[in-house]
Amino acid sequence: MPSPSSICIFCGARAGVLPAYSQAAKETGEMIANMGWRLVYGAGDIGLMGEVARAAQAAGAKTLGVMPKHLMRQEIAKRDLGQLILTETMHERKKVMFMNCDAIVVLPGGGGSLDEFFEVLTWRQLGLHTKPIILLDVAGYWQPLVALLDHVIAHGFADGSMRGFVQVVPDVAALTVALQEGLQEGLK
Ligand code: AMP
């Protein structure tokens, strides 16, 4: 049997203030399972990370978590994942997550999620990969980030093409379609 497509989820180690964030995280986990895809994520059992993983697992998805050893207590490593890879550094974590996925989805999150987003975006800009990068814009959470990207382009610090490397979707139904199309594109 061919191995399932792997979806890397970057998201908050906190739950955020709106219930809609946790709801979207749960729906994302369930959707990954229902589509027969594998969840790749930061292995935490807290915040939105925990919500996505618990929902994906409960619905039967394969899971791969990647965490640096030094964060295991702080982010409460989820020990019942299909696979848990422990790394020495944050950089290794990002690399292992990236290498093991076919598409990247960013749910609401903080500085860590932004760091992860900008790394895959800049790698895409440099032509190092063509994996889809999708922002799940729950309750308009990512609008300031989209405005920032537009601002960077408008002021001549990036080509307009940068905007095309990021898809913005409002809900999990639209995310599912964007992933299906993006994964199909990657197979060509
Ligand atoms: P946050 O969005 O800040 O809640 O963080 C989400 C995830 O990103 C957490 O698992 C953090 O450990 C991780 N993270 C935080 N800072 C970094 C960083 N500099 N590089 C990679 N991951 C990070």
Looking up residue 117, the CATH number of its domain turns out to be 3.40.50.450
What b/e string do you get for 67-79 counting C-beta neighbours within 10 Å, with b at 16 or more? bbeebeeebbbbe
Region of residue 3 (left: phi > 0; alpha: psi -120 to 50; beta: else)? beta
Decide: 27 in ligand 1 pocket, CB within 6 A: no
Q: Please, which pLDDT band fits residue 186 given cuts at 50, 70 and 90?
A: confident
**CA 115–ligand 1 middle distance (angstroms):** 7
60 domain-assigned: yes
39 domain-assigned: yes
Triad 97, 31, 84: Cα angle to 5°: 30
Q: Pick the residue whose CA is nearest to atom 21 on ligand 1.
A: 90
**Rounded Cα gap, residues 133 and 120, in angstroms:** 8
**CA 113–ligand 1 middle distance (angstroms):** 6
How much is the average pLDDT of 24-45? 98
13 domain-assigned: yes
Decide: 75 in ligand 1 pocket, CB within 6 A: yes
What are the beta bridge partners of residue 6? Answer: 38
1 domain-assigned: no
Prediction pTM value: 0.96
What are the beta bridge partners of residue 5? Answer: none
Count of domains forming the chain: 1
Residue type, position 13, single letter: A
Domain coverage including residue 86? 6-187
Convert the pLDDT of each residue in 77-97 to its tens digit: 999 999 999 999 999 999 999
C-beta neighbour count of 154 within 10 angstroms: 10
